[in-house]
A and B are shown apart, each in its own frame.
Chain A
Amino acid sequence: MCIAVPGQIKSITGGDPMELRGVVDFGGVEREIMLSFAPEAKIGDWVLVHAGFAITIIDEDSARQTLADFDQILGEADANGEPH
């Protein structure tokens, strides 16, 4: 139910936050969604979309950091000779 799907903003229309909309590309399928809760979003940003609204802008640096942290944890495991 609280599923939110990542997609990339292709275009933005409207100025009033209640009318602020964007076209978002979900892996090839484009859909118009509301940007009322992500008014600072820009074209090219990735957002998580739930029930027709962008609820957060995905932070690319944090996303990359998460993967880097992961590599580090597993790297430590490898260095300690622990099993794969």
Chain B
Amino acid sequence: MKYIDEYRDADAVGRLADRLATEVTRPWTIMEICGGQTHAIVRFGIDELLPDGVTLVHGPGCPVCVTSAATIDAALDLAARPDVIFCSFGDMLRVPGSKMDLLTIRAGGGDVRTVYSPMDAVGIAQDNPEKKVVFFAIGFETTAPTTAMAVYYAARENIGNFSLLVSHVLVIPAMEAILSSPESSINGFLAAGHVCTVTGYNAYHAVAEKYRTPIVVTGFEPLDLMRGIYACVRQLESGKYEVDNQYARAVRPEGNIPALNTIDRVFEICDREWRGLGTIPHSGLKLKNEYAGHDAELIFNVKPVISAESSVCISGRILQGAAKPPQCPAFGKQCTPEHPLGATMVSSEGACAAYYRYRPSHNRKE
């Protein structure tokens, strides 16, 4: 087993789609939460294999996309300081704030470094005691334990020049915000498999019950995705709304206890502004007071600012599954991956960027 190729059998995926077609009697709309899944669905054409009536809509699960322009502006300010080494996952470098991006800051002389792991940024802090090293802590519950461990380790080892600019987001509050929206047409969810490796899925039972919506924990390979969709449609056709784990090789009901404990040790829940969606209560993580010495917002006295978003861009509606990328008047015209106007075009995992890359027939450049 290599745990990749076995789950990419195109013939089997197509046959399962055919099987699904024989079981569908009514139209259903299913949202995949995770940007990684959106990317895989569009890349492998999973949505185009589905029978008429089964529609996938793409959710807000791209943390690169939903990091607010105000937070990115704060990152740009820090990265431009001569006393700072600013470390980030590579995905964030091209994401525009209200005026520019981290690559522009680097071109202008800022010390902006791409790291593979937050622990690499801790190492950079140890190697550069005369500098202040800031790591841009974005991501869902999958990533939060890794930044939590970095700051926990830095505190334990007295690495005082290491800090986090935190913009972590949580999945369930976003799901609830979408389900509560009057525009919501979602009948079922594919829950993000990798988030669930950390969180488990026990907390989803209450959501499935409250909104009478099936939630299927789903993996990322074509076969996993088709299985998740198939399991979700089967529940919908039989009137069920249960939590089902179709990614059992990686996800346990209770999640990853050491990872959850590390999150709890370092972070607490806060309100968070999402790009395209606005502020969602209790949807983010921030550092606890005892880690204030490693909190870049406090160290550098980052002031909250209001950053304007494009008035043409409909990414907010796309993130809620209320619209698809080609419906936006700016898609492929003023708004491209090189010059994104909004959240869903800024990262390759955003729905607009995925359509732009893999569905050239939808690109309407004039």
Identify which of B15, B16, B89 contacts A1 (C-beta below 8 A): B89
Q: Do the beta carbons of A74 and B256 come within 8 Å of each other?
A: no
Q: Is the interface of A mostly helix, strand, loop or mixed?
A: mixed
Docked CA distance A46–B2 (Å): 9
Identify which of A3, A6, A34, A70 contacts B16 (C-beta below 8 A): A70
Judged by a CB distance under 8 angstroms, whether A17 is at the interface is yes
A48: chain B residues at CB < 8 Å are 194, 197, 250
Docked CA distance A52–B145 (Å): 11
A59 to B, closest residue via Cβ: B249
B224: chain A residues at CB < 8 Å are 66
B88 → chain A closest CB, angstroms: 12
B16: chain A residues at CB < 8 Å are 70, 73-74
Q: Do the beta carbons of A2 and B139 come within 8 Å of each other?
A: yes
Q: Mark B132-148, 1 if CB is under 8 A from A, else 0.
A: 00000011101101100
Known: A27-B2, A46-B3. A39 touches B117 (CB 8 A): no
Q: Do the beta carbons of B227 and A51 come within 8 Å of each other?
A: no
Q: Mark A18-53, 1 if CB is under 8 A from B, else 0.
A: 100000000100000110111100000010101111
Known: A37-B262, A62-B249. A4 touches B194 (CB 8 A): yes
Docked CA distance A37–B256 (Å): 7
Q: Do the beta carbons of B145 and A82 come within 8 Å of each other?
A: no
Identify which of B15, B120, B143, B152 contacts A2 (C-beta below 8 A): B143
Judged by a CB distance under 8 angstroms, whether A12 is at the interface is no
Judged by a CB distance under 8 angstroms, whether B318 is at the interface is no
Docked CA distance A32–B338 (Å): 34
A74 → chain B closest CB, angstroms: 5
Q: Do the beta carbons of A74 and B149 come within 8 Å of each other?
A: no
B51 → chain A closest CB, angstroms: 12
Known: A2-B139, A63-B1. A53 touches B249 (CB 8 A): no
Identify which of A33, A63, A64, A70 contacts B227 (C-beta below 8 A): A70
Q: Do the beta carbons of A55 and B197 come within 8 Å of each other?
A: yes
Docked CA distance A48–B279 (Å): 32
Q: Do the beta carbons of A73 and B19 come within 8 Å of each other?
A: yes
Q: Do the beta carbons of B119 and A34 come within 8 Å of each other?
A: yes
A4: chain B residues at CB < 8 Å are 142, 194, 197, 250
Q: Mark A52-68, 1 if CB is under 8 A from B, else 0.
A: 11011011101111110
Docked CA distance A59–B197 (Å): 12
Q: Do the beta carbons of B34 and A2 come within 8 Å of each other?
A: yes
Docked CA distance A51–B36 (Å): 15
Docked CA distance A64–B3 (Å): 10
Q: Do the beta carbons of B1 and A46 come within 8 Å of each other?
A: yes
Docked CA distance A69–B352 (Å): 34
Docked CA distance A51–B140 (Å): 12
Known: A1-B62, A1-B63. A36 touches B149 (CB 8 A): yes
A83: chain B residues at CB < 8 Å are 18
Contacts A2-B34, A3-B36, A48-B197 known; 16 new A-B pairs at CB < 8 A: A2-B139, A2-B143, A4-B250, A6-B4, A18-B152, A34-B117, A36-B149, A51-B139, A51-B146, A52-B120, A52-B146, A53-B117, A55-B256, A62-B248, A66-B246, A84-B15
Docked CA distance A7–B230 (Å): 28
B61: chain A residues at CB < 8 Å are 2
A67 → chain B closest CB, angstroms: 6
Most buried by B among A2, A4, A50: A2
